Amino acid sequence: MQVFVYGTLRTGASNDFRMKGATSLGAATICAKLYRVHQDFPGIVLSEDASDILHGEVFTDVSAQHMDALDRYEGCDAGLPKSERIYQRAITTAITETGALVEVYVWEYIREVDEANRISSGDWLR
């Protein structure tokens, strides 16, 4: 499986160790709006507007067990009541640095967002 990460899971960020065992394909973008949903972590809302560019990284070779661990980390595992979930796993298309289109899983924030907390650069690490 392939995943797109945009926040603390990116290479060099505070939780990049959680991607150990997966292979980075490098920088990529998706169409989404980026928000600071907590002091220490971001959330996104997927968009169909091509001007809503979110910067991140694509990883491949992500096993089903690794995906389960990422779901638990993101607060969307099946064992958690829906009312307590923070993110949902979604499928979207990423554009890699080489221009390739790649279908990826991404974790989308499912709670209410405040437009005042939108990060207009679309890059959590900047």
- What is the average pLDDT value for the chain, to the nearest integer? 95
For the domain bounded by 3-117, which CATH number is listed?
Answer: 3.10.490.10
pLDDT of residue 126: 85
Go through 58-69 and write b for each residue having 16 or more CB atoms within 10 A of its CB, e for each that does not. bbeebeeebeee
For the stretch 35-77, pLDDT in tens is 999 888 899 999 999 999 999 999 999 999 999 999 999 989 8
Best CA proximity match to 19, nearest among 42, 2, 36, 34: 2
pLDDT of residue 9: 96
Q: How far apart are CA 43 and CA 85, in angstroms?
A: 13
pTM for the whole thing?
0.93
